[in-house]
């Protein structure tokens, strides 16, 4: 009889009958699980042995053990699989033979009967292991009690391919199933998982907590915590319970995260017209955590700086993880090769969340600043997006082992969100969001590829005759390295555009050039003296594109596309004059994009650096401190580089401009009697703008006023904002702070202490 096999991913110590296997990570492989069998329900029971509670710690201390029943749908003829360690209530089929393939991290169970498609069956497997210490799988963290005692906790981090470190499972995103979790844990500890508690009872020195079944989800979204925490809570307008858990010494400073999460959940439900599918949503602050946060469905785990306090960073991370509840959890990519569908969308949606908190938030400008001024973002843009594991991988298959730690590349966040934003601008915001709602509706509790997204968007796309379909358009942007630079020149009274890729791919990286390093480029342009922005297509099959327009014309107006633009010298002068004389006609996104591109390509010796200075000089009257900060950086860079190159530079003019910026008054819109919160709201929209103001202005009036506010401020959130602004200045501000305010460490919360340390660190570096 022909024997077929069923494979499981496993990287933990576990037992099978009377045998026990212990194995470590194996060599790299690109094997994928077969799809002849699909799980549809896991029933997990697990005991965690932690010290510090009533039970007497023994050799099981810092270990876990349990069993999992996996209900399976047979889709192709195969053998029924049952572990001989544990038995299901169904008919038991004999395991004829089993083996383990360490290089593939696979358990193979060979049976003596073939099961036909349409059959539903169950396998039961036991497992046990030690709590890890490397912040992967199921590992140890800790917490502090109010008396200063350290308690050991256990928490999971299973993305991307680390669920197998804890339990045998189908550890790929496409295998979605419900999870019924029951946790046995020392009495006195708290147990958390994705769903709300269904029941709990005591058994000797342990408490057994049973959770309700989760929605269908991928294994990497399973989350478990056992340990010592307290919480604060609120409810949404649909009565969804939101709790933020933290150390007993930290949980009092989670109010900001609670408020942000409530507003965001309510707002995203309305915006996306899709309800959050569970009745509870928990956040947890972990002292030991490798990332900012992890979007586990219903139990989002954060590092402490990403959830405690009242910073914009906390808002950013909370919103991003909440966006994942729809983009990644409800709708999930089929394979890790297209994780940009998860991370790109979550990053793209984050500014929408900020607008729910503050309607003045300019999501286009903030996105442009991130896209153009972040060196990390620039660096990641040079590699290709679709099917990206690392730039050195040659296919879209994810290695199944973890010998080399798998990281979700930052490229998926930055380039992915920039590409999605470009799709939004091509289709139009309202039509795009309507299509995204359809995409979510059609693919809820399922898996998608990028073609599914384009299929959902296409009906909302009014395609011009000379434009590509969205799928063809996307192919070149997601399947090759880099992005284009558009060169603008005068040609016989017209504006002529050409394109090329200016990025040099490092020899150790693969050349992904699906379209020969050509792109179908949506050209957004804005003519001088006009406010409207027009769109034309520069397709990859054209050598150049001619526009019958008069100078100056802005290409990539509002920074809608993720491509650079380089102008001729005379055009930079014309654009700078237009910024001075018609400043109100151009968005701040347009201004900072022109400035950033000029500096970048000037540093690459593709155009004179003087052009960057000309543009920066034209923006001196801006009230946007982000623009002024970047202009100041341009002045300093141009001065340094041109001196280094022995080029002529007007040092007196540059120093004059820097001095003018130093003398700017940050709080000029505020009366002397204004409280900090009122003045901040009048002056800034984001904390990043507030920070930029301290980098622009070096006179003492700003720091002096901040210190005066700090002396009398009662609000924890406002004290943190003041400290963050002071931290953005130079070390001299800390000297003033130390002289004028005497803080006792016992009166400071986690966030305030961290900021004091930042300022102290800057001072020590100066000394």
CATH number for the domain harbouring residue 547? 2.60.40.1910
Residue 6 lies in a domain: no
Residue 9 lies in a domain: no
Unique residue bearing structure tokens 């934003």: 421
* Same domain as 222, residue 102: yes
* Same domain as 569, residue 504: yes
**Which tokens sit at 541?**
């099959």
Which neighbouring-strand residues pair with 208? 184, 201
* Same domain as 701, residue 659: no
Burial degree of 213 (CB within 10 A; 0-12, 13-18, 19+): middle
CB atoms within 10 A of CB 590: 24
- C-alpha span between 147 and 152 (Å, rounded): 15
What is the H or E stretch that residue 614 is in? Answer: helix 610-618
**Per-residue model confidence as pLDDT tens digits over 127-137:** 999 999 999 99
CA distances from 122 to 32, 41, 73, 80 (A): 22, 9, 9, 8
Unique residue bearing structure tokens 């192709």: 76
The predicted structure's pLDDT at residue 98: 63
- C-alpha span between 304 and 293 (Å, rounded): 9
* Same domain as 544, residue 585: yes
DSSP for 74-93 reads: E-SSEE----SSS--SSPPP
Give the helix ranges, DSSP H, for 482-530. Answer: none
**Which tokens sit at 106?**
């696979």
Whether 631 contacts 595, CB under 8 Å: yes
CA-based nearest residue to 65, from 88, 47, 82, 43: 47
* Same domain as 336, residue 467: yes
Peptide bond before 221: cis, by omega within 30 degrees of 0?
no
**Which tokens sit at 765?**
């570096």
**Which tokens sit at 202?**
């005591």
Looking at residue 550, the DSSP 8-state letter turns out to be: P
**Per-residue model confidence as pLDDT tens digits over 624-640:** 999 999 999 999 999 88
Whether 217 contacts 242, CB under 8 Å: no
Active site residues: 321
pTM over 0.85: yes
* Same domain as 461, residue 447: yes
Examine the pLDDT at 402 and tell me if it is beyond 50.
no
| Domain end marker among 479, 508, 539 | 479
- C-alpha span between 33 and 11 (Å, rounded): 15
CA angle (440 as vertex; 312, 271 as ends), nearest 5: 45
**Per-residue model confidence as pLDDT tens digits over 339-388:** 899 999 999 999 999 999 999 999 999 999 988 865 444 444 444 444 33
- C-alpha span between 749 and 589 (Å, rounded): 37
- C-alpha span between 177 and 556 (Å, rounded): 44
Residue 471 lies in a domain: yes
Burial degree of 266 (CB within 10 A; 0-12, 13-18, 19+): middle
CA-based nearest residue to 295, from 390, 170, 156: 156
Residue 676 lies in a domain: no
Cα torsion through 261, 263, 265, 269, rounded to 10: -170
The predicted structure's pLDDT at residue 735: 61
CA-based nearest residue to 344, from 478, 514, 509, 194: 478
**Per-residue model confidence as pLDDT tens digits over 214-246:** 999 999 999 999 999 999 999 999 999 999 999
Residue 361 lies in a domain: yes
Which residues span the domain enclosing 497? 482-666
Looking at residue 468, the DSSP 8-state letter turns out to be: P
* Same domain as 486, residue 467: no
Beta strands in 112-220 (DSSP E): 114-115, 120-130, 137-144, 150-157, 178-186, 190-193, 197-203, 206-211
Determine what percent of the chain falls in helix, strand and coil, rounding each to the nearest 5.
Answer: 35, 25, 40
Backbone angles phi, psi at 714, to 5 degrees: -100, -25
What is the H or E stretch that residue 281 is in? Answer: strand 280-286
What is the H or E stretch that residue 346 is in? Answer: helix 340-357
**Per-residue model confidence as pLDDT tens digits over 152-173:** 999 999 998 889 889 988 889 9
- Residue 632, C-beta contacts closer than 8 angstroms, at least 6 positions apart: 658, 661, 695, 696
Integer-rounded Cα Rg, in Å, for the chain is 29
- Residue 57, C-beta contacts closer than 8 angstroms, at least 6 positions apart: 49, 51
Q: Give the model's confidence band at 397: pLDDT under 50 very low, under 70 low, under 90 confident, else very high.
A: very low
Q: Is 95 helix (H, G, I), strand (E, B) or coil?
A: strand
CA-based nearest residue to 309, from 265, 364, 246, 368: 246
The predicted structure's pLDDT at residue 119: 82
**Per-residue model confidence as pLDDT tens digits over 529-561:** 899 999 999 999 999 999 999 878 999 999 999
The predicted structure's pLDDT at residue 650: 79
Examine the pLDDT at 83 and tell me if it is beyond 80.
no
> When comparing pLDDT for 700 and 724, which is higher?
724
Q: Is 313 helix (H, G, I), strand (E, B) or coil?
A: helix
Peptide bond before 552: cis, by omega within 30 degrees of 0?
yes
> When comparing pLDDT for 295 and 731, which is higher?
295
CA-based nearest residue to 637, from 616, 660, 620, 663: 616
Annotated binding site for Zn(2+): 320, 324, 343
* Same domain as 140, residue 37: yes
Q: Is 658 helix (H, G, I), strand (E, B) or coil?
A: helix
Provide the percentage of residues in the chain whose pLDDT is more than 70. 80
Whether 42 contacts 69, CB under 8 Å: yes
500: Cα within 13 Å, side-chain hemisphere: 8
CATH number for the domain harbouring residue 393? 1.10.390.10
Whether 317 contacts 256, CB under 8 Å: no
| Domain end marker among 189, 208, 228 | 228
Unique residue bearing structure tokens 């505020």: 670
* Same domain as 505, residue 573: yes
CA angle (215 as vertex; 338, 180 as ends), nearest 5: 120
Whether 306 contacts 314, CB under 8 Å: yes
Residue 18 lies in a domain: no
102: Cα within 13 Å, side-chain hemisphere: 10
Report the chain's mean pLDDT, rounded to a whole number: 84
* Same domain as 377, residue 304: yes
Whether 484 contacts 556, CB under 8 Å: no
- C-alpha span between 728 and 691 (Å, rounded): 5
Q: Provide the number of structural domains found in the chain.
A: 4
* Size of the chain in residues: 767
**Per-residue model confidence as pLDDT tens digits over 431-450:** 999 999 999 999 999 999 99
**Which tokens sit at 738?**
């130390």
CATH number for the domain harbouring residue 146? 2.60.40.1730
Residue 25 lies in a domain: no
Q: Is 434 helix (H, G, I), strand (E, B) or coil?
A: helix
* Same domain as 189, residue 72: yes
**Which tokens sit at 359?**
């309607």
Residue 20 lies in a domain: no
Quick one: residue 137, left, alpha or beta (phi over 0 = left, psi -120 to 50 = alpha)? left
Q: Is 74 helix (H, G, I), strand (E, B) or coil?
A: strand
**Which tokens sit at 453?**
């997204």
> When comparing pLDDT for 16 and 109, which is higher?
109
Which neighbouring-strand residues pair with 98? 109
| Domain end marker among 179, 212, 228 | 228
Find the helix packing angle between 429-443 and 411-427, rounded to 10°: 120
* Same domain as 167, residue 141: yes
The predicted structure's pLDDT at residue 615: 97
Looking at residue 177, the DSSP 8-state letter turns out to be: B
Beta strands in 164-240 (DSSP E): 178-186, 190-193, 197-203, 206-211, 224-227, 230-235
Examine the pLDDT at 614 and tell me if it is beyond 90.
yes
Examine the pLDDT at 58 and tell me if it is beyond 80.
yes
């Amino acid at each position: 009889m022909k024997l077929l096999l069923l494979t499981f991913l496993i990287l933990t110590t576990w037992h099978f009958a009377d045998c026990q296997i212990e194995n470590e990570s194996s060599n790299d492989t690109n094997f994928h699980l077969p799809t002849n069998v699909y799980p549809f329900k896991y029933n997990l029971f697990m005991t965690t042995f932690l010290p510090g509670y009533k039970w007497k710690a023994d050799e099981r201390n810092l270990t876990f053990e349990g069993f999992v029943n996996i209900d399976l749908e047979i889709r192709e003829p195969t053998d029924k699989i049952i572990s001989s360690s544990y038995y299901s209530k169904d008919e038991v089929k004999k395991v004829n033979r089993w083996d383990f393939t360490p290089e593939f991290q696979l358990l193979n169970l060979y049976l003596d009967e073939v099961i036909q498609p349409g059959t539903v069956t169950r396998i039961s497997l036991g497992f046990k292991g030690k709590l890890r210490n490397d912040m992967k799988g199921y590992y140890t963290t800790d917490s502090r009690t109010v008396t200063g005692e350290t308690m050991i906790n256990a928490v999971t981090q299973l993305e991307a391919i680390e669920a197998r470190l804890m339990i045998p499972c189908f550890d790929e995103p496409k295998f979605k199933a419900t999870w019924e979790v029951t946790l046995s844990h020392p009495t006195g500890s708290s147990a958390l998982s994705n769903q709300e508690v269904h029941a709990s009872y005591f058994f000797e020195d342990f408490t057994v907590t049973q959770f309700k079944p989760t929605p269908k989800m991928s294994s990497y979204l399973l989350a478990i915590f056992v340990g010592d925490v307290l919480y604060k809570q609120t409810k949404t307008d649909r009565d969804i319970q939101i709790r933020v858990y933290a150390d007993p010494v930290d949980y009092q400073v989670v109010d900001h995260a609670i408020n942000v999460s409530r507003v965001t959940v309510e707002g995203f439900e309305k915006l996306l017209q899709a309800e959050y599918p569970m009745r509870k949503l928990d956040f947890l602050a972990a002292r030991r955590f490798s990332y900012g946060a992890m979007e586990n469905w219903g139990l989002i785990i954060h590092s402490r700086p990403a959830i405690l306090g009242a910073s914009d960073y906390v808002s950013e991370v909370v919103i991003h993880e909440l966006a994942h509840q729809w983009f990644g959890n409800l709708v999930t990519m089929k394979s890790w090769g297209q994780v940009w569908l998860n991370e790109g969308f979550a990053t793209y949606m984050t500014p929408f969340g900020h607008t729910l908190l503050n309607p003045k938030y300019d999501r286009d400008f903030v996105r442009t600043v991130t896209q153009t001024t972040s060196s990390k973002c620039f660096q990641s843009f040079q590699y290709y997006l679709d099917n990206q594991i690392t730039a050195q991988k040659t296919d879209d298959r994810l290695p199944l082992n973890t010998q080399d730690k798998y990281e979700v590349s930052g490229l998926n966040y930055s380039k992915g969100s920039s590409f999605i934003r470009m799709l939004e601008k091509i289709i139009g915001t309202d039509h795009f969001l309507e299509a995204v709602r359809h995409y979510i509706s059609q693919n809820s509790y399922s898996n998608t590829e990028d073609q599914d997204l384009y299929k959902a968007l296409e009906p909302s796309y009014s395609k011009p005759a000379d434009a590509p379909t969205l799928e063809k358009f996307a192919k070149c942007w997601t399947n090759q390295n880099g992005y284009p630079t558009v060169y603008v020149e005068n040609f016989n009274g017209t504006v002529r555009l050409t394109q090329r890729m200016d990025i040099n791919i490092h020899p150790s990286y693969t050349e992904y050039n699906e379209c020969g390093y050509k792109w179908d480029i949506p050209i957004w342009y804005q003519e001088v003296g006009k406010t409207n922005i027009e769109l034309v297509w520069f397709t990859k099959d054209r050598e150049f594109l001619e526009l019958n327009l008069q100078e100056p014309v802005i290409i990539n107006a509002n920074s809608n596309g993720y491509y650079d633009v380089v102008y001729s010298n005379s055009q930079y002068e014309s654009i700078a004059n237009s910024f001075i004389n018609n400043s109100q006609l151009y968005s701040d996104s347009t201004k900072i994009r022109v400035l950033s591109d000029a500096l970048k390509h000037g540093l690459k010796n593709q155009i004179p650096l003087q052009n960057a200075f000309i543009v920066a000089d034209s923006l001196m009257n801006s009230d946007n401190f982000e623009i002024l900060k970047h202009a100041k950086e341009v002045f300093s860079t141009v001065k340094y580089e041109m001196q280094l190159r022995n080029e002529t530079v007007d040092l007196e003019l540059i120093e004059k401009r820097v001095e003018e910026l130093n003398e700017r008054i940050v709080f000029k819109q505020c009366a002397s009697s204004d409280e900090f919160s009122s003045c901040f709201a009048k002056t800034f929209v984001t904390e990043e703008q507030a920070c930029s103001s301290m980098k622009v202005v070096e006179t003492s009036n700003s720091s002096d006023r901040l210190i005066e506010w700090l002396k009398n401020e009662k609000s924890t959130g406002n004290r943190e904002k003041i400290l963050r602004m002071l931290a953005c200045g130079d070390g001299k501000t800390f000297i003033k702070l130390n002289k004028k305010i005497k803080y006792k460490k016992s009166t400071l919360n986690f966030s305030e202490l961290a900021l004091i340390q930042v300022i102290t660190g800057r001072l020590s570096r100066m000394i």
